[in-house]
Structure 1
Amino acid sequence: MNSSVNRPIMRERFFLALLTLLMLTACQKNAERILITPEDYHSSVDKVTEVMIHDIFSPPVASRIYAYPNIAAYEILAKKNDSYTSLANQLHGLNNIPLAKDTVNINYELAALVAHIDLNKRLIFSEDRIEVFRDSLYSIWESQNKKEFNASKDYGLQVAEHIATWMDKDNYKQTRTMPKFSVNSEDPSRWQPTPPAYMSGIEPHWNKIRPFVIDSASQFKPVPPPPFSMEKESDFYKELREVYDISNEITAKGDTSEEVAIAQFWDCNPYVSVTRGHLMFATKKITPGAHWIGITKIASRKTEASLVQTVHAYTKTSIAIADAFISCWDEKYRSNLIRPETLINEHIDDSWEPVLQTPPFPEYSSGHSVVSGAAAKALTSIFGDNFAFDDDTEVAFGLPVRSFNSFNEAADEAAISRMYGGIHYRAAVEIGIGQGRNLGDFIIKKLQMINEKSSAVN
């Protein structure tokens, strides 16, 4: 009698216990799902920037390092999100990435970050610095959900390998074995190495790098600079004298000079030589491309962009920056124009020094101007015009925040900063920013990253 009475009660308790176990298991699975946030991605971008500063990559090479990892991450997320379109067959030579084998356990956001980190590691010198960053994250993710982590890691590395194979065909390795730039000392219009380090011209063969979107390195070839002439009535000499006069005017203001502050804010010279007595050393900074990557982070955070929106912004901007460097360097070593410092010291004032240290490559057109024009166009296409922001990118280097009402306003300031710095003539900055904006417009029109039938925020 007692056993028959207790049997329903025992059965009820069993089902209650089973239900509780199932609920706990479900909650546990939800709790253990690995969450990848926009801040995780910002941290990965910041880490490669930090390593690039340490390793001292030139501005063109740095732009390549930013582009490929972002593209890999974007391609993985585009596989999951119908609102975004793959860049396969849009970027020169890029084919569709492989499909994931384990679609049950994969976390596409995690796979995207794994691919980003892996390609970062392949592209820099100090691999151990990326490995420490990677391993600490791997340990955390594996402890949260081993099955999901392994499936996602395997796919991320598979895509990274696919992108790396494509990347290795962009002629970069071939340019490493090409001859150094040969200086023509007999032609007074041609670029000469400048003090204090008198470095050789960097990346003279960068126009041979395969572009991402533009048809060729010369597609946005600017008009030539004013013809070289030291006649005082010539346009060239007037521009040379303008650099000298502006420099003297703004430095006479001392610490109150807004123009000097602008020049220093946009300096972005990854290697500034400092000489003290018999000792020469370098102070390290970010490149101009890295500055605009920092602005991309600022805009993404301000708009509270989702992970896929954040990766989209980094990818589009880094592609524009990379193609801008290819376009600009194509012109630099075509026109091969001498820097203001060389001519001013020789013909006007042998004790004159520019506000900024002259970088080691020809003058025309201005790299900052071309890159800033292209980056501003890319960012405006994503976040809109009249996007006000506070730029704290240079705070880490001891410089105050500067505020802008739009990306184009920031680009204009970046361009004119090179004249204030005494390292560019007016033509280089004014024509350069037009060159960059034309290139940026082309990339915006040609790249289809947002699915027009979706509700994705552009």
Structure 2
Amino acid sequence: MRSFRHILCTIGCLFVAEAAGVCQSQSPTELFHRAQKNLTRTIVHDIFSPPVASRVYMYANVAAYEILVLDKENYLSLHGQISGIPNVASIPAQGTINYPLAALQAFFKTGGKLVFSENLLQDSVAVLLHEIGEDDPEVYKNSLRFGQAVSDSILKWAAEDQYRETRRTRRYAYSKAPGKWIPTPPGYIPAVEPYWNRIRPLTLDSAQQFKPAPPPAFSTDPKSEFMRQTREVYDITRSMSKEQTLVASYWDCNPFYLNTQGHLNFATKKLSPGGHWMSIAGRAAATAKLDMVATAGAYLITSIALFDGFISCWDEKYRSQLIRPETVINTYIDEKWRPLLQTPPFPEYTSGHSVISTASATVLADYFGSAFAFVDDTEVEYGLPERAFGSFRAACDEAAISRLYGGIHYRAAIEEGQVQGELVGKMVLQKINLSQRDNHPRAVKSR
């Protein structure tokens, strides 16, 4: 068994980019970080929308975490905290279990069933499972079997969240009323996930729980608040500093980016905003040198904040259906103006980046501490430099204002989005407790 897995490892190291051509022993925690990156690369490859990507992250991380806590008495299962979540502890285990191995198996099996390109994940599964270092063939087999059983249970629960039903809904009908959103250049992509508010949330009572204040009323009067905020977008984008331009590009995270050359259109695959915050959670856990279960907790709490954040935000987007700055500016101010960033294919209010970044920062600040400093290298592989932040709040504030610099959001969507996101994050913390001890991670408070 050992020699067979050794062969798989050797083959995997030749073909899996993340292994960098070298198959060397790593800790289970390091392997878990690699598993997260593999899932992110698959999500990017499949061009999932930000809400759908958050769903993939959440269920995969629930599966892994629920296995790891079985072996850690100081950590609490989500069973009993989230309505309907399976009781993993009731799933029979045949023989001795290597819990990190089982958790990786559950993570890959769950994530694999929620993406299109499951084969991309499977290319590296043999490598990562081998490197756990389990030499006993029976324990190895028992662990994979248990991980599969947990994944099956989580996927059965996931199948009841209304996702499949929203795939069968009628095509979104655009409002013809003044001030309502319509698709934007260059691709004029149809509305993305207009029925996402039907998805079952984890900690929210409903998608409408944190309904934000309405946006400024649409008006073409130059003295109106709406046109004042529109003019702000126009003026800022015409005189930005190099730093503002970098900030806008750094937080772009647009999986729908479309290149246009004459009659040729092709996509550039990019990270989703949720993927960026999952990367930040991982970087923070690595900086704090957390063990595997504490690392899993950081990924988990972030994925839940993202998931519920998108449900809350998308509920408002398709309620207010607010027109994007690009459409207003081109119609009433300057027909030749273009935003620095491509306008995403959904209504403007509230800002998705502002909601999910603030929700993520809220739970991460609770987990690691409000003054936790870190270096974010998420965008390096996309050609952008690292950025250092003194806190998660500083990072989410920058992510939020980047949407004004990018020319795709009015200030009200950013400010109200951050209010909405903080409420979502606080609700996640109110409903979910991962630790039995106040001084135990939820993470570095005792370190």
TM-score by length of 2: 0.91
Q: Does 1:223 align with 2:213?
A: yes
> Of 101, 104, 119, which aligns to 1:110?
101
- Please report how far the alpha carbon of residue 46 of structure 1 lies from its aligned counterpart in structure 2 after TM superposition: 0.4
**Structure number, greater radius of gyration:** 1
Give the Cα–Cα distance (whole angstroms) in 1 for the partners of residues 440 and 180 of structure 2: 53
- Please report how far the alpha carbon of residue 108 of structure 1 lies from its aligned counterpart in structure 2 after TM superposition: 1.2
Question: How many pairs were matched up?
Answer: 419
Amino acid at match of 2:151: A
- Report what 2:305 is aligned to: 320
Q: Give the RMSD, CA atoms, in angstroms.
A: 1.6
- Report what 1:239 is aligned to: 229
- Report what 1:261 is aligned to: 246
- Report what 1:180 is aligned to: 171
CA contact (8 A) 2:367 2:441 kept: no
> Structure 1, residues 95-122: CA drift from partner, whole Å, max 9, x if none?
3114454464211111111100100110
CA contact (8 A) 1:193 1:201 kept: yes
- Please report how far the alpha carbon of residue 453 of structure 1 lies from its aligned counterpart in structure 2 after TM superposition: 7.5
Amino acid at match of 2:294: Q
Worse-matched range after superposition: 87-96 or 447-456:
447-456
SS in 1 for 2:370: coil
- Report what 1:20 is aligned to: none
- Report what 2:13 is aligned to: none
- Report what 1:295 is aligned to: 280
TM-score by length of 1: 0.89
SS in 1 for 2:239: helix
Percent identical residues: 47
CA contact (8 A) 1:141 1:149 kept: no
- Report what 2:188 is aligned to: 198
Worse-matched range after superposition: 142-151 or 191-200:
142-151
Amino acid at match of 2:219: S
Q: Structure 2 matches for 1:116-131, cutoff 5 A?
A: 116-131=107-122
Cα gap change, 1:236/1:183 in structure 2, threshold over 3 Å: closer, same or farther? Answer: same
> Of 341, 355, 358, which aligns to 1:356?
341
Amino acid at match of 1:379: L
Give the Cα–Cα distance (whole angstroms) in 1 for the partners of residues 204 and 96 of structure 2: 38
Give the Cα–Cα distance (whole angstroms) in 2 for the partners of residues 35 and 392 of structure 1: 21
Give the Cα–Cα distance (whole angstroms) in 1 for the partners of residues 315 and 135 of structure 2: 49
Give the Cα–Cα distance (whole angstroms) in 2 for the partners of residues 118 and 139 of structure 1: 16
Q: Does 1:391 align with 2:376?
A: yes
CA contact (8 A) 1:63 1:318 kept: yes
Give the Cα–Cα distance (whole angstroms) in 1 for the partners of residues 42 and 95 of structure 2: 35
CA contact (8 A) 1:332 1:365 kept: yes
Give the Cα–Cα distance (whole angstroms) in 2 for the partners of residues 147 and 98 of structure 1: 21
Give the Cα–Cα distance (whole angstroms) in 2 for the partners of residues 214 and 318 of structure 1: 14
CA contact (8 A) 2:27 2:132 kept: no
- Report what 1:54 is aligned to: 45
- Report what 2:434 is aligned to: 449
Give the Cα–Cα distance (whole angstroms) in 1 for the partners of residues 229 and 83 of structure 2: 39
Cα gap change, 1:454/1:364 in structure 2, threshold over 3 Å: closer, same or farther? Answer: closer
Q: Does 1:151 align with 2:142?
A: yes
Cα gap change, 1:454/1:420 in structure 2, threshold over 3 Å: closer, same or farther? Answer: closer
- Report what 2:56 is aligned to: 65
- Give unmatched runs, 5+ long, in structure 2: 1-24
SS in 2 for 1:76: helix
- Please report how far the alpha carbon of residue 454 of structure 1 lies from its aligned counterpart in structure 2 after TM superposition: 7.8
- Give unmatched runs, 5+ long, in structure 1: 1-33
SS in 2 for 1:357: coil
SS in 1 for 2:260: strand
> Structure 1, residues 61-103: CA drift from partner, whole Å, max 9, x if none?
0000000010111111111111111101222321311445446
Worse-matched range after superposition: 140-149 or 112-121:
140-149
Amino acid at match of 1:244: Y
Give the Cα–Cα distance (whole angstroms) in 2 for the partners of residues 303 and 282 of structure 1: 36
> Structure 1, residues 161-187: CA drift from partner, whole Å, max 9, x if none?
110110000000000010121112x31
- Report what 1:11 is aligned to: none
Q: Structure 2 matches for 1:302-451, cutoff 5 A?
A: 302-451=287-436
Cα gap change, 1:36/1:159 in structure 2, threshold over 3 Å: closer, same or farther? Answer: farther
SS in 2 for 1:244: helix
Give the Cα–Cα distance (whole angstroms) in 2 for the partners of residues 429 and 206 of structure 1: 20
- Please report how far the alpha carbon of residue 438 of structure 1 lies from its aligned counterpart in structure 2 after TM superposition: 1.2
